[in-house]
Amino acid sequence: MVKISFGIDISKDSFHACVKLSEHLNDSKIKGIKNFDNNKKGFDLFLTWAKKRIRENSSVQFVMEATGVYYEDLAYFLYAKGYNVAVVLPNKMNSYAKSLSIKTKTDKQDSSMIASFGIERKVDNWKPMSPLYKELRDLSREFLSSKKEVQRAKNQLHAMKYAHKKSLTVINLKEEQIEFYEVKMKQLKDEIKKVAKQDTAFYAKVKKVETLPGVGFETIIGIVCETNGFELFNSIRQLVSYAGFDIVFNQSGGFNGKTKISKRGNSRIRQILYMPALSAIQHNKPIKNLYDRIIEKNPKIKNKGVVAGMRKLLIYVFVLWTKNEEYDNSHEWSAGK
């Protein structure tokens, strides 16, 4: 059977699409490449262009990366039209690019590489997020945004109160802004819990994971819905990479640079986990022990211990959610378990 793969490299305003055709394994030819606007009009033009390049009795796959939210509208559009859509984790695509020794990085080059990935590798078909997960994710993101705003406003208010003869009007307005966001956060928290309770099985799983010291209800909802219930992940390594907690080594010959996390992938997960990790360092024995070991080795870089705690919390949530279990404080949690 003829295999046709549409590789899509998508950004905020536009996307490049490359179509490749393969009649023999590992032997593909480019049959077209074009740029389209990332909106409804662009989607219609793209589908018209794509249909002209689809043969009868062929296997057709539309492939794109799971980066940000910019791919979502196109993925939903193609899915609604009845096409097979694959959304691939960035770490898989990065590994594939390295295997091909690709050094040039342009939108056209990326779309061609993604099309080749669809030809050569087995990809799973993407399915839209359930209405429950979608609504909770939107609520969680708004809660996270409000939380950032109220913290920023509090920091500004603190500085104002120590400034010389700062306007009382400005201070009062800043206090009103903080109050507004705090009321908004309370409303969002109530709505998140209300929506979560609509599905008793889902709510029961959340309550089990909530037994993990250091994480609260909103934290669990945020992580689970940002990962679509961990549906895309077959391993802890994939999840860690998706959240940007994978380690990047800067080493060449005798040179040893700083080792750090990649910070690629879903930044919201890292934002969600920061404050819970600070709490877990105080109240979760395995994470506290991990933090202490890292700080002992890096006494001047305490943030490394916090990041390690964030990563470990994410793994715990993943394991408890997928196993549908409560946290067992007596369990000897080992690395990656």
Question: What average pLDDT does the chain have?
Answer: 88
Residue ending a domain, among 120, 145, 176, is 120
Cα→Cα distances 8→82, 110, 211, 234, 282, Å = 17, 8, 41, 23, 45
The pLDDT confidence band at residue 89, using thresholds 50, 70 and 90, is confident
56 and 161 fall within a common domain: no
Q: Kindly state whether residues 172 and 205 are assigned to the same domain.
A: no
Same domain? For 261 and 310 the reply is yes
Decide which of 198, 228, 244 is a domain's last residue.
Answer: 198
**pLDDT class of 337 with cuts at 50, 70, 90:** very low
* pLDDT at position 106: 82
Using 50, 70 and 90 to split pLDDT, how confident is the model at 259?
low
For the ranges 70-79, 163-172, 188-197, 324-333, the lowest mean pLDDT is seen at 324-333
SS3 60: strand
* Same domain (yes/no): 161, 171: yes
- 164 and 210 housed in the same domain: no
Share of the chain above pLDDT 90, in %: 65
Residues 192 and 210 in one domain: no
At position 94, the amino acid (one-letter code) is: N
Domain presence at residue 275: yes
CATH of the domain at 51: 3.30.420.40
Contacts of 55 (CB under 8 A, 6+ apart): 2, 4, 21
List the one residue out of 28, 238, 228, 202 whose CA is nearest residue 130. Answer: 228
CB 188 within 8 A of CB 221: no
Residue 329 clears pLDDT 80, i.e. is over it: no
| 49 in the same domain as 182 | no
Q: Quickly state the pLDDT bin for 261 (edges 50, 70, 90).
A: low
Backbone phi, then psi, for 301, in 5-degree steps? -125, 75
Residue 40 sits in the same domain as residue 90: yes
Q: What percent of the chain has pLDDT over 70?
A: 91
Residues 111-170 pLDDT 10s: 999 999 999 888 889 989 899 999 999 999 999 999 999 999 999 999 998 998 889 999
pLDDT band at 252 (very low <50, low <70, confident <90, very high): very low
Whether residue 321 is found in the same domain as residue 208:
yes
The count of structural domains within the chain is 3
220 in any annotated domain: yes
Confirm whether 127 is domain-assigned: no
Residues 6 or more apart whose Cβ sits within 8 Å of residue 301: none
Whether 336 is covered by a domain: the verdict is yes
Q: What residue has token string 């994978």? A: 246
Answer whether residue 126 is part of any domain.
no
35 and 150 housed in the same domain = no
Residue 103 DSSP one-character state: -
Question: Containing domain of residue 239, as a range?
Answer: 199-337
Model pLDDT for residues 278-294, shown as the tens digit of each residue: 999 998 999 999 999 99
- 3-17, 25-39, 199-213: least confident range: 25-39
Same domain, 204 and 333: yes
Q: Do 211 and 98 reside in the same domain of the chain?
A: no
Q: Write down the pLDDT at residue 255.
A: 41
